[in-house]
């Protein structure tokens, strides 16, 4: 490619369809600095550009790291919220407390208030896509000889969610898996918005 004056630019994104529509995506770019100077003004219209390295593939690696943490946060928040609900805590109050405390994550700040508590499950990312990203993360970890003790459990939970809820289900639906096991539903019946 270099002999033909072609440069590969690796630029996966995070932020979903909402981020794309608003121009607030996180864009993880891997390419030489001179190529970045050419593509950054174009990519900046879609969101914030992060230069993560010069080698193609580093953008994808960053995307896998990001989605692994997102998947883990959503899975563990689902378990925590189901436990709290079954114990008698109000889901909306739990979200408020978590977001003011050390339990805060993208799952508590955005996904649960917007898509789980109102029971819309319409955040815009498919369960099957998250399962695929976790498979790719596990393959990358194996290739780099990084053990995934927690990651193995997270991946198993997403595999089961995809199998039981369907790969096309919204990824916020993973809470339904835990709700089914526990026999309780996490919802905001107050008519207010969490946050």
Place of tokens 């990001």: 66
What kind of fold does domain 2-56 have according to CATH?
Answer: Rossmann fold (3.40.50)
- Give residue 6's pLDDT: 86
Q: Which residues of the chain have pLDDT under 70?
A: 191-195
CB within 8 Å of 57: residues ≥ 6 apart? 10, 30
User: Could you please report the per-residue DSSP string of 154-192?
Assistant: HHHHHHHHHHHH-TTSBGGGHHHHHHHHHT------SSS
Residue 141 sits at φ, ψ, to 5 deg, of: -60, -40
Domain 60-182 has CATH 1.10.3720.10: no
Pairing of strands 47-53, 25-30: parallel
| pLDDT tens digits, 20-32 | 899 999 999 999 9
Which residues in the chain are classed under CATH 1.10.1040.10? 60-182
The b/e string for 34-67 (b: 16+ C-beta within 10 A; e otherwise) is eebeebeeebeebbebeebbeebebbbbbbbebb
State the Cα angle at 194 between 99 and 73, rounded to 5°: 45
Identify which of 3, 26, 7, 1 has the alpha carbon closest to the alpha carbon of residue 15. 26
**Cα 88–chain centre separation:** 28
- Give residue 18's pLDDT: 83
| Distance between CA atoms of residues 128 and 47, nearest Å | 25
| Distance between CA atoms of residues 109 and 111, nearest Å | 7
- Give residue 192's pLDDT: 52
| pLDDT tens digits, 169-189 | 999 999 999 999 999 999 998
Is 111 an active-site residue? no
From 63, 86, 111, 132, active-site residue: 63
- For helices 58-87 and 149-165, the axis angle rounded to 10 degrees is 70
Which residues in the chain are classed under CATH 3.40.50.720? 2-56
């Amino acid at each position: 490619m270099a002999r033909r004056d072609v440069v590969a630019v690796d630029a996966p994104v995070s932020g979903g369809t909402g981020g794309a529509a608003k121009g607030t995506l996180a864009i993880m770019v891997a390419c030489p600095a001179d190529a970045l100077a050419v593509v950054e003004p174009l990519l900046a219209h879609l969101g914030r550009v992060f230069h993560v390295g010069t080698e193609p593939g580093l953008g994808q690696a960053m995307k896998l790291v990001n989605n692994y943490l997102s998947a883990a946060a959503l899975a563990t928040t689902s378990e925590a919220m189901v436990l709290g609900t079954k114990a008698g805590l109000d889901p909306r109050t739990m979200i408020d407390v978590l977001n003011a405390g050390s339990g805060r994550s993208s799952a508590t700040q955005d996904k649960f208030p917007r898509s789980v508590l109102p029971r819309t499950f319409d955040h815009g990312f498919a369960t099957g896509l998250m399962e695929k990203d976790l498979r790719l993360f596990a393959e990358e970890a194996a290739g780099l000889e990084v053990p995934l003790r927690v990651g193995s459990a997270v991946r198993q939970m997403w595999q089961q969610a995809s199998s039981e809820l369907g790969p096309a289900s919204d990824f916020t639906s993973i809470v339904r898996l835990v709700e089914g096991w526990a026999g309780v539903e996490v919802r905001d019946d107050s008519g207010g918005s969490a946050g």
